[in-house]
């Protein structure tokens, strides 16, 4: 909390090699009271030099020196609570699966309206983002088809019945508030359940946890 009880703005890193897009988005983002652009980068190398004190990173998938999701491990090493939104100009099933399984919190079409990107950022930070049903189901079906043989997580991860119910609710597209209401728990208890499930599955995000759960047949994918 800031002075007088005000909430500190979310510190954002923008990683995008197209300067005009990045700078225009940074200008728009800085007009929002709950966000502040803490750093900008046009490559992986530049981004890795400025990983500290970041709450949320918006990262283009295609960068001059590699793929944006290569930053995920570095970002979370610097701040385990960081939120990562990947933008992709080619949001096909292959890219969706790769980004989700890398542990991104969200993925969005790069050509989405900038206000839509900001809304997604806000929802991800608040734990209110709803998975885009068709896209997520495509990812889960693909993960399920791959089977458990490629997963680093054992089927006996020790998920409780409540944790499994939470994962199934995510499959159905419920957000954190809706899951808490379905399970009859508080928002804090829902967060604790989700954190426990992620830890047992070795996942960095709810989306990644779903992909792993689908691979093991823990959740039912329509």
Q: What is the pLDDT of residues 89-136, one digit of tens each?
A: 887 777 777 788 788 888 888 888 999 999 989 988 877 665 555 566
Least confident segment among 35-44, 82-91, 115-124, 150-159: 150-159
Tell me how far apart the alpha carbons of residues 175 and 106 are, in angstroms, rounded to a whole number: 13
Range of the domain at 10: 3-129
Q: Residue 86 phi/psi, 5° resolution?
A: -95, 135
Question: Given this model, what pLDDT does residue 147 score?
Answer: 54
CB-based contact 151:160 (threshold 8 Å): no
The H-assigned helical ranges of 30-132 are 44-48, 72-78, 93-102, 114-126
Q: Helix 176-183 crosses helix 161-171 at what angle (to 10 degrees)?
A: 140
Tell me how far apart the alpha carbons of residues 175 and 177 are, in angstroms, rounded to a whole number: 6
Last residue of a domain, one of 81, 113, 129: 129
Last residue of a domain, one of 106, 129, 152: 129
Which three-class secondary structure state does DSSP give residue 165?
Answer: helix
CATH code of the domain containing 82: 3.40.50.2300
Domains held by the chain: number: 2
Written as six digits, the tokens of 97 are: 């699966």
Query: Does the model's pTM come out above 0.75?
Result: yes
CB-based contact 14:37 (threshold 8 Å): yes
Strand 62-63 and strand 10-15: pairing? Answer: unpaired
- Is the domain of 41 the same as that of 20? yes
Last residue of a domain, one of 73, 108, 129: 129
- Is the domain of 110 the same as that of 182? no
- Is the domain of 146 the same as that of 93? no
């Amino acid at each position: 909390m800031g002075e007088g009880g005000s909430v500190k703005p979310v510190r954002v890193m923008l990683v995008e090699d197209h300067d005009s897009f990045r700078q225009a988005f940074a200008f728009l983002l800085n007009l929002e009271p709950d966000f502040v652009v803490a750093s900008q980068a046009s490559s992986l190398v530049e981004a890795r030099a400025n990983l500290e004190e970041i709450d949320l990173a918006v990262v283009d998938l295609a960068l001059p020196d590699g793929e944006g999701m290569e930053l995920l491990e570095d970002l979370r090493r610097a701040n385990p609570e960081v939120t990562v939104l990947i933008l992709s100009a080619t949001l096909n099933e292959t890219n969706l699966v790769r980004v989700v399984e890398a542990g991104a919190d969200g993925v969005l079409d790069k050509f989405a309206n900038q206000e839509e990107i900001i809304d997604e950022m806000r929802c991800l930070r608040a734990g209110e983002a709803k998975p885009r049903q068709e896209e997520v189901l495509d990812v889960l079906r693909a993960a399920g088809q791959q089977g458990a043989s490629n997963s680093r997580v054992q089927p006996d991860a020790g998920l409780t019945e409540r944790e499994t119910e939470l994962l199934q609710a995510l499959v159905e597209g419920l957000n954190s508030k809706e899951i808490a209401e379905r399970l009859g728990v508080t928002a804090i208890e829902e967060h604790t359940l989700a954190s426990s499930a992620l830890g047992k599955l070795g996942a960095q995000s709810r989306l990644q946890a779903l992909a792993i759960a689908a691979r093991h047949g823990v959740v039912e994918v329509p």
